[in-house]
Structure 1
């Protein structure tokens, strides 16, 4: 997934890859002025700027539960269990995008065909597929399927673009997620305005989501809830860079009959990575119930604070995160709307949870191997307390998560190691290969349990026209 400037805030805060700076981070003030150029005035034409290309991604994951944990599947009408699950899918995106027509108002179209080819079709391996492999009601994999992942019209005046249809969108609350073979997308209307040099505005109204591993559109639901759905998500916000070293982002969202959510993110850079650079990050979310309160009473304040030190090839990051509320810090399912520093395999977002992460990364470009990076991290969460929860959205045992009211002093820990390589030249330039191994261990009532996962993902971009 191509990350927007908003998503980069999260990466700066929870960074586990080394960052190299050519010069010290400037602390100069950035005055707000009108943008120097108009993007629409430089439009080349509907056909003249047409592009056809995309990516193909090989996505492999093997998981193992331990300490008595198992996955289940149905065989000949009987439920079978074992501790392993494997998913292997080839996801391909073919994207056709016109240029903007010339004139005061530019018009553009974008269509992207998403295709998934299942490489491991064993019912025993995929265990029903979850959000990894599309499976039928009988648990059999859908061997190959396609859908329109993107289909939209765009209208541009100066540096402001209105997009209508199925689209990507990126903010601290509503964000396309791309951690499977195919990404999610959203159906609705959005705008992006960059009329000022260091200040941009963004907003949207969406009524459906196109999930990562489904052929049809779905209503929005919450990541941790018990299946409640909503028909409308509205969001509005801005990104502002008051200093060359400081970037901020402010967004609000109304999820109809679920919650109102407010987000603030900031990242600040200081120093020179060739000697010592410091990256400081803050993410804060405020969530309150609204409308018919399908998710029950919510009054939740959650934040993360991180400090990242970089010296040449090496980076060391410390991150603290805290949830203040008797329910999960929740976000929209099939989105990446959680920019908290300790959102890892586990989100570390249980009621009243505190967590701390230490991460180290090395960028081998400093040692003559550009494109190669390694990272390792350890995170611990403690103080999980759901005993004061009085609602039902997160409290029905046997639903999507454990009963919050049973969580009393729960704790968990996660370890991870990864390696990534980006091809620097040749016909496979920009091909990205990423291997990760993660182990998570939780106490008796902690929802994520005890699991190990190895994941290998190769993403190859291609251009036809």
Structure 2
């Protein structure tokens, strides 16, 4: 739900989210020293959203006498993210640290205006917006040997299983250990094991739960291993395997093929597939779920057109860890189109105005539709197991959405690399589809400041 608003905003090639190799790990032989290689920067983020519900969808205002329904909420936040990264010490094995301190000021504090608790901002027990909050967003110790590194602490992971979420004033992160390696030019791989999430609107860490399952149940740890191999003829192959303890085991396969030159005509095809089965104590009951998507993109100059198909096979949601965007499916937009047995398609147009003399200005327009959402065959709680997914009431549910994003990256001057985005979307749901019916406008500005 709503996992790719920021990603959509930065997309200029009509691409669905794909598993791609992370930035290669620089070789330890080039270490510049702990102090000499240090970097300190500040990102100032201004975040505003105005959301209205439609049809049978309502938000909630907490009152002493009970809950009052409302159709509007407003979020207006100023955030600051101070990021420090040391260099690596010289030698065969290098050591370094990362630290990021996040702080937020709530500019909209009206009790009725923030609505719906802590979904967008941090609130107290009465539902009032906390005026300011802060936390250690990232804090890790790093060790590097050759072109492989280990990080221990609070990290922002980036892979098809566990990817930090950045669609609010502050991003999430995860607590654990990660291994990243790019010893071979054609292969980048990573592994990790994490036991806590640091939420977007929280000041501390929380146990690992799921996005669409019963959040009363948690898993003690999620571990994964996988990577991306660059094959000949424009083909990338990504494979990951993971275990969410006592919840599920999940594997991911991604295939991406590119041909041609976008200056003339280029084509890209992207296949994403997830297979999920219950594991261990089966805290979410029995799970047997397959989800796949196929996206085809044609590009010419600054124009890209994408068509995508997505389908879920299983009587529960295709799911992923809460506070993560571990979903690389093509139709993961405002909605994930991941309901039980759901089918969906998307049509998307992207424009990059750089070839037409306006570098940094991009726009994207999309329409998506999902149908055949059916959870009436759910039997995950058989044999006394927990009811992991509340889906039996979904019988023929459907939904659709339209979205527009315009983004500009400043090319020069004191605001160089600052990003300004406007995002407008509407979503309509029928038959109990989980995302409801909304209209929303978001205005987001990210202004980076390099200190040293």
| Coarse TM-score class (shorter-chain normalised) | over 0.9
Tell me which residue corresponds to 2:366.
377
Tell me which residue corresponds to 1:17.
12
Tell me which residue corresponds to 1:4.
none
Q: Does 1:457 align with 2:452?
A: no
| Two-structure CA RMSD over aligned residues (Å) | 2.2
Q: How do 1:411-430 and structure 2 match up within 5 A? A: 411-430=398-417
Q: Does 1:267 align with 2:256?
A: yes
**C-alpha separation between the residues in 1 aligned to 2:189 and 2:443?**
37
Q: How do 1:24-39 and structure 2 match up within 5 A? A: 39=27
Cα displacement (A) at 1:55: 0.9
**C-alpha separation between the residues in 2 aligned to 1:215 and 1:438?**
29
**C-alpha separation between the residues in 1 aligned to 2:66 and 2:368?**
38
Cα displacement (A) at 1:130: 3.0
Aligned residues: 435
Q: What is the DSSP-based 3-state SS (H/G/I as helix, E as strand, rest coil) of the residue aligned with 1:130?
A: helix
Q: Does 1:81 align with 2:69?
A: yes
8 Å contact kept, 2:291–2:318: yes
8 Å contact kept, 1:356–1:381: yes
Tell me which residue corresponds to 1:147.
135
Q: Does 1:282 align with 2:271?
A: yes
Tell me which residue corresponds to 1:440.
427
**C-alpha separation between the residues in 1 aligned to 2:117 and 2:414?**
34
8 Å contact kept, 2:164–2:323: yes
**C-alpha separation between the residues in 2 aligned to 1:68 and 1:231?**
37
**C-alpha separation between the residues in 1 aligned to 2:190 and 2:66?**
51
Q: Does 1:172 align with 2:136?
A: no
Question: Unpaired runs of 5+ in structure 2?
Answer: 16-23
Q: How do 1:67-216 and structure 2 match up within 5 A? A: 67-216=55-204
Question: Unpaired runs of 5+ in structure 1?
Answer: 1-6, 21-34, 394-398
**C-alpha separation between the residues in 1 aligned to 2:247 and 2:435?**
24
Tell me which residue corresponds to 2:295.
306
**C-alpha separation between the residues in 2 aligned to 1:299 and 1:336?**
21
8 Å contact kept, 2:14–2:305: no
**C-alpha separation between the residues in 2 aligned to 1:342 and 1:41?**
42
Tell me which residue corresponds to 1:31.
none
**C-alpha separation between the residues in 1 aligned to 2:87 and 2:106?**
34
8 Å contact kept, 2:45–2:444: yes
**C-alpha separation between the residues in 2 aligned to 1:295 and 1:43?**
46
**C-alpha separation between the residues in 2 aligned to 1:197 and 1:139?**
52
Tell me which residue corresponds to 1:325.
314
Structure 2-normalised TM-score?
0.92
**C-alpha separation between the residues in 2 aligned to 1:455 and 1:424?**
23
8 Å contact kept, 1:128–1:135: no
**C-alpha separation between the residues in 2 aligned to 1:162 and 1:66?**
48
Distance change >3 Å, CA 305–CA 59, structure 1 → 2: same
Tell me which residue corresponds to 1:236.
225
Cα displacement (A) at 1:110: 1.0
Distance change >3 Å, CA 15–CA 276, structure 1 → 2: farther
